Amino acid sequence: MILNDLELVVFSIRGALVATVIAGLVALPVAYILEFKKFWWKPILEVLSILPLGVPPVIIGYLLLVMLSPKYFFGSFIYSIIGSSLVFTWIAGSLAAAIVSFPLIVRSFQLGFSSVDNNLINTAKSLGLSFPYIFTKIIYPLSKKGIFAGLLICFARSISEFGATIVVSGNMPGKTQNISTAIYTSISSSDNSSVIRLSIYSILMAILSITVHNILVNRKSK
């Protein structure tokens, strides 16, 4: 039982970490554009970046299920590259969790970038400094607490995701099952002891993530 629980915790952390990396890599340029750039379709990008927050996760999971299916273009393209479908894999679950948590991380990144004076960036550009140098020496040091806070809140949301992940990755023990889907299985089978035990694990991981997040936010505000 302990080994099975440990396996679930490891699977859940692995999936949440991959989801956080995916969401972070996309959110970083999106948040930068939203914070520092001006263009006519910016309101559209803002709506798209926050849309997953208002869409039921089950719908997100279904759309991913269709998109990743080998019957359709994108899924067929992925299949031709890796030789298998991503549907009903833990990677698909991580992708679903990344989309669901995306609004949270992109807003946190924006909040971090808001502490950077745009005049500093413009001055650095006028001196001929490259963007990688500007980002690593100016933008990142001033916004890193907001970035780390965003990564942590994204991780916390990803590790608790259920609706989207179970649709696109399934609930296969030892393969795609995580704590959330295992709790669902235990509830369905009236295994109350497992429900309580797994819920405690999930709550403890959430408390740890949110506590570290709050520490970073409070330090940022001082």
Q: For the segment 92-103, what is each residue's pLDDT rounded down to a tens digit?
A: 999 999 999 999
81-85, 139-143, 152-156, 209-213 — which is least confidently predicted? 209-213
Q: Are 144 and 171 in contact (CB under 8 A)?
A: no
Q: CATH no. for residue 66?
A: 1.10.3720.10
Mean of the per-residue pLDDT values of the chain? 90
Residue 165 pLDDT grade (very low, low, confident, very high; cuts 50, 70, 90): very high
Q: What one-character DSSP code corresponds to residue 52?
A: G
pLDDT band for position 215 (50/70/90)?
A: confident
User: Tens digit of pLDDT for each residue in 39-79?
Assistant: 888 999 999 999 999 999 999 999 999 999 988 888 888 88
Distance CA 76, CA 96 (A): 18
Closest by CA to 96, choosing from 76, 66, 70, 71, is 66
What is the structure's pLDDT at 218?
75
How far apart, in whole angstroms, are the C-alpha atoms of residue 200 and residue 111?
31
Contact 143, 82 (CB under 8 A): no
In this structure, the chain runs to a length of 222
Tokens of 57: 């996760």
pLDDT tens digits, 106-160: 999 999 999 888 888 889 989 889 989 999 999 999 998 889 989 999 999 999 9
Q: What is the pLDDT of residue 2?
A: 58
Number of domains in the chain: 1
Please determine, for residue 222, whether its predicted confidence score (pLDDT) is greater than 80. no
Domain range for residue 136?
2-221
Q: Which of 101, 95, 94 is nearest to 50 (CA)?
A: 101
Question: Residue 116's Cα: distance from chain center in Å?
Answer: 24
